[in-house]
Structure 1
Amino acid sequence: MPESVTLQREQSTDVYHNLGERFKETSRELCGIMFLYCSGNPPQLESRVRDFLQQESGMEFEVLKDSSTQTLAVLLPGFTLDATHYQALLLKQHLLETMENVDPRITLTVFPGQVDPTPGVLKQMAESTRLSASPDIHIFTREEANQEPGRILIVDNDDTVREFLTIRLKMQGFETLEALDGTSALELIEKWEPDLVLTELNLYGIDGLPFIHQIQQLPVENTPKIVVLTEQRVERTISQCFQNGVDDYVTKPFSPVELDARIHRCFH
């Protein structure tokens, strides 16, 4: 599992690195860019996007794909922000009218502009598109690009789970640390002060609800949010966790995409 995630990370990094290099070479030339994602990866999405853009007489465009997340990047050379936004509205309406059960998410901006087209910023735009909970077209701003990465402490005694989560969260720009048990996790929370604790309930030493309670009693400036990722499926345990201030509860085996979305909701 970790090897496949690493391979995906390398593939997706190449897309954003190549885009960043291209914008660097044409830094003075105006270019609109939109990222497009549809959950479920509709097989005809890319071809439908290309066909629609080709209908616009004389319009220059390029479509690239992040194969690991199935997110599309559409480049529109010479487009202003308003023109890019208008084209995104037309494209979204076209997809809704011609494809069944699609729910397109679009994030866009224009270069040069408020945001520098670094690989990190481009990847951040793509991630915000894929994880967006709103159907509205989103214009990416300097404020978002300047946000500091969130800190997440991963607490699990399973080496494979910790490694998988660490790789996946780092791909999304989060800072991460790992803990094997509840005692070491409490020490790290005091020293490092993470924004979120992603934890199993079945831990060595202190675990379960006493562990959740201890997190909330620590003398830190901001108590971290808590997302439980566990094999425990007992309804009473789930209810007690929420009653004790847990922000979300995910059971194993889990969907990585769904977990991504739930974690990102904790940061917004």
Structure 2
Amino acid sequence: MANTVTLERQMTVNVYDILEEQLKGMGSRPSGVVFVHCKNMEQQPEAEVNEALERTCETEFQLWKDSKTSTIAVFLPGLTLNATHYQALLIKQELLERLGEADPRLTIAGFPEMGSPSRHMLKNMAESAKLSQSTDIQLYTKNETMTAPGKILIVDYDETTREFLRIRLSMQGYETFEAVDGLSAIELAKKINPDLILTELNLYGVSGLSFIHQIQSLELQIQPKVIVLTDQRVEDTISKCFEKGVDDYVTKPYSPVELDARIRRCFQSNAVS
């Protein structure tokens, strides 16, 4: 069983001040935060969340309830974003099994990927969970990372893959465009000047590596970032992609929440450069 830490709920110190202090104390070490809100419950199920964590979490955790936002905050020191997402799935499953119509909404974030934590950021995370209209676990992103919705070009021959990415990315505020092959993607890129291209390597009309080279050679106002999404795991292929200048390489099957984080990092890099 994991080492568990739960604090007194009637606190004079603000939940977000404590959580901010805990996160900053982690330095560069990974940690996760989960906010839980059950839309159909007047009293939030603090005991059930705690019991779920005691059964499934293999590391120490801390938990608080914030009555002002009607949310439960969970601090997971040592967990990566991927592991935090998995833990959130277990919490959600437990609540659905035990509380039926609780309708849990969860928002997660990984640190230090999110940058320096602040009370304001954490309060926004809580509000995001409370106001979420989706039953999917949400990855929290700071609105200030982009001054305008980013443009993402999705290049994949598989219609189901394109549809999944389009829906998920659109829900996060990105402006999405689609192409079924490399040649049409190149023409579309000239017209829309995307901020980011998500591309499969197995493309019709032009090979994936040739497509990447041609994209990098286009005279665009802003050179797009490129993330490869593929089932090709050959080391030589991966090396050649990075030699061509791709920004990230993600193998299928992948964690959607991890892909969200990698996309966000690309946009943060654009904002800094």
Q: Is TM > 0.5 for Structure 1 vs Structure 2?
A: yes
Asked if the contact 1:103/1:135 (under 8 Å) is kept, the reply is: no
Partner of 1:38: 33
User: What CA distance in whole angstroms lies between the structure 2 residues aligned with 1:103 and 1:175?
Assistant: 28
Partner of 1:218: 218
User: What CA distance in whole angstroms lies between the structure 2 residues aligned with 1:261 and 1:267?
Assistant: 10
**Residue 259 in 1 paired to residue 259 in 2?**
yes
User: What CA distance in whole angstroms lies between the structure 1 residues aligned with 2:198 and 2:183?
Assistant: 15
Partner of 1:136: 116
Partner of 1:243: 243
Per the normalisation by structure 2, the TM-score is 0.55
User: What CA distance in whole angstroms lies between the structure 2 residues aligned with 1:100 and 1:146?
Assistant: 28
Deviates more, 1:203-212 or 1:138-147: 138-147
User: What CA distance in whole angstroms lies between the structure 2 residues aligned with 1:152 and 1:262?
Assistant: 13
How far residue 209 of structure 1 moved from its aligned partner, in angstroms, is: 1.0
**Residue 204 in 1 paired to residue 204 in 2?**
yes
Go from structure 1 to structure 2 and tell me whether the alpha carbon gap of 1:38 and 1:186 turns closer, same or farther (over 3 Å shift): same
Report Cα offsets for 1:29-75 as digits up to 9, x if no partner: xxx997x9626x9943799322xx5xxxxxx62324xxxxxxx6x8x
How far residue 162 of structure 1 moved from its aligned partner, in angstroms, is: 0.4
Per the normalisation by structure 1, the TM-score is 0.56
Please tell me the residue identity of whatever aligns with 2:33. Answer: C
Asked if the contact 1:229/1:250 (under 8 Å) is kept, the reply is: yes
User: What CA distance in whole angstroms lies between the structure 1 residues aligned with 2:246 and 2:225?
Assistant: 7
User: What CA distance in whole angstroms lies between the structure 1 residues aligned with 2:172 and 2:143?
Assistant: 17
Unaligned runs of 5+ in 2: 1-13, 20-31, 37-47, 54-60, 85-105, 125-141, 269-273
How far residue 226 of structure 1 moved from its aligned partner, in angstroms, is: 0.3
How far residue 247 of structure 1 moved from its aligned partner, in angstroms, is: 0.2
DSSP 3-state at the match of 2:70: strand
Asked if the contact 1:152/1:174 (under 8 Å) is kept, the reply is: yes
User: What CA distance in whole angstroms lies between the structure 1 residues aligned with 2:236 and 2:166?
Assistant: 29
Please tell me the residue identity of whatever aligns with 1:38. Answer: V
User: What CA distance in whole angstroms lies between the structure 2 residues aligned with 1:159 and 1:243?
Assistant: 29
Go from structure 1 to structure 2 and tell me whether the alpha carbon gap of 1:173 and 1:61 turns closer, same or farther (over 3 Å shift): same
User: What CA distance in whole angstroms lies between the structure 2 residues aligned with 1:179 and 1:103?
Assistant: 33
How many residues get paired?
177
User: What CA distance in whole angstroms lies between the structure 2 residues aligned with 1:164 and 1:265?
Assistant: 20
Determine which of 20, 41, 48 is the counterpart of 2:63: 48
DSSP 3-state at the match of 1:166: helix
Alignment of 1:44-193 (within 5 A): 44=50, 48-50=63-65, 53=66, 61-64=68-71, 101=78, 130=109, 133-134=113-114, 136-138=116-118, 139=120, 144=144, 147-193=147-193
Asked if the contact 1:193/1:224 (under 8 Å) is kept, the reply is: yes
Asked if the contact 2:182/2:208 (under 8 Å) is kept, the reply is: no
Go from structure 1 to structure 2 and tell me whether the alpha carbon gap of 1:47 and 1:61 turns closer, same or farther (over 3 Å shift): farther
User: What CA distance in whole angstroms lies between the structure 2 residues aligned with 1:242 and 1:145?
Assistant: 25
CA RMSD of aligned residues (A): 3.7
User: What CA distance in whole angstroms lies between the structure 1 residues aligned with 2:116 and 2:146?
Assistant: 22
Go from structure 1 to structure 2 and tell me whether the alpha carbon gap of 1:61 and 1:221 turns closer, same or farther (over 3 Å shift): same
User: What CA distance in whole angstroms lies between the structure 2 residues aligned with 1:210 and 1:256?
Assistant: 27
Report Cα offsets for 1:173-224 as digits up to 9, x if no partner: 1000000000100011000110000000101001221110000111211111
Report Cα offsets for 1:118-154 as digits up to 9, x if no partner: xxxxxxxx97x63651463234599818710110000
Asked if the contact 1:149/1:173 (under 8 Å) is kept, the reply is: yes
Query: Percent identity over the alignment?
Result: 50
User: What CA distance in whole angstroms lies between the structure 2 residues aligned with 1:261 and 1:223?
Assistant: 20
Asked if the contact 1:131/1:260 (under 8 Å) is kept, the reply is: no
Asked if the contact 1:131/1:264 (under 8 Å) is kept, the reply is: no
